[in-house]
Amino acid sequence: MRTLIFVFLLSTVALPQTAVEVFRKAPPATDAALRERVTKFYQSYVDKKWRLSDEFVAEDTKDRYYAAPKAQYHSFHINEIKFEENFTKAIVLSLCEQDRMIAMGNVLRMKVPTQSYWKLVDGKWMWYLPERNCVATPMGCGAVAQGEAEATEKQKKEIEERIKNPPTSQIMSSFGFVAGKERPVLSPAKTQVERVFKNQLSGYLVPKVGAINDPDVEASFEPAQIAPMSEGKLIVKMKPGASFRPRPVTVEVEVFSRILPVVVAIEGAPPAQK
């Protein structure tokens, strides 16, 4: 009897949390229908066929939609969907990959958070802008409630700042340097290593080798100027007579007045055989 009561109590305690999760989760068919419409809408931006996007825009929003600038997306990913008003409206947060102007007139491709609003109209999910305060977004005009305006303005400034001054890790990734990638290793048997440097910009890339924190190491680029959408090599090598003791070495690469640290490892000489 005690066992039965204990199990019953556990079930009772667990019910509210389960019910809340079920209540917040949209029916699978509803979620799938919205994702299909959002996907087709953003695909028209990838394909640069903005006229096709018209069929996904609500009638009461079309004038503002036509007036807003249209960005070209290279890819997109639906990150999160928040349903509202008994699953008749939704806010969709996506990451849209697009080109952004950075220093010296060059363009850097990055993924920008983009928020869009959707509502059911005659059984179809339609993109729309609520009748609220309007704040500029990567898609032109984005809508926010009065109480959210200050927070959204702050988010917009943060996004603009990240676009003007992207994190070093993002710049390195755009040039082919992926975080966590295995470091090149210099050794007595391999006194030179190379790292591919991808230029995904619209203009020539002229990277410079800056400081190297080890006097036994030197570095250079081949070629000195990397053509648009092509690759070059950062060559790091040991100087003649260099000491091979285990240690990391950081080669600073300067791109657009930003310092990108490239780390290589040095292996010690194998112990002498007796």
Cα 131 from Cα 117, distance rounded (Å): 12
Cα 241 from Cα 121, distance rounded (Å): 76
Contacts of 237 (CB under 8 A, 6+ apart): 186, 191, 192, 193, 217, 218, 219
Domain(s) of CATH 2.60.40.10: residues in the chain: 174-266
> Cα dist. 198→102, 143, 202, 207 in Å?
17, 38, 12, 11
For domain 23-166, give its CATH number from 3.90.1150.10, 3.40.50.620, 3.10.450.50, 3.40.50.1820.
Answer: 3.10.450.50
> Given a cut of 60, is residue 92 above it in pLDDT?
yes
| Cβ contact 62:54 at 8 Å | yes
pLDDT tens for 101-145 read 665 556 677 778 888 999 999 999 999 988 754 543 434 444 444
Q: 3-state SS of the chain?
A: CHHHHHHHHHHHHHHHHHHHHHHHCCCHHHHHHHHHHHHHHHHHHHCCCHHHHHHHECHHHHHHHHHCCCCCCCEEEEEEEEEECCCCEEEEEEEEEEEEECHHHCEEEEEEEEEEEEEEECCEEEEECCCCEEEEECCEEEEECHHHHHHHHHHHHHHHHHHHCCCHHHHHHHCCCCCCCCCCEEECCECEEEEEEEECCCCCECCEEEEECCCCEEEEEECCCECCCEEEEEEEEECCCCCCCCEEEEEEEEECCEEEEEEEEECCCCCCCC
| Statement: 174-266 belongs to CATH 3.40.50.150 | no
> Given a cut of 90, is residue 243 above it in pLDDT?
no
Q: List the beta bridge partners of residue 89.
A: 84, 119
| Cβ contact 98:138 at 8 Å | yes
pLDDT tens for 49-88 read 888 989 999 998 888 888 777 788 889 999 899 999 999 9
Kindly give the pairing relationship between strand 107-121 and strand 124-128.
Answer: antiparallel
> Cα dist. 69→79, 102, 140, 142 in Å?
23, 19, 5, 12
Contacts of 30 (CB under 8 A, 6+ apart): 83, 87
Q: What is the mean pLDDT of residues 232-248?
A: 88
Task: Say which residue, 106 or 39, is predicted with more confidence.
Answer: 39
Domain(s) of CATH 3.10.450.50: residues in the chain: 23-166
pLDDT tens for 184-228 read 888 888 889 888 877 776 667 778 888 888 899 999 888 888 887
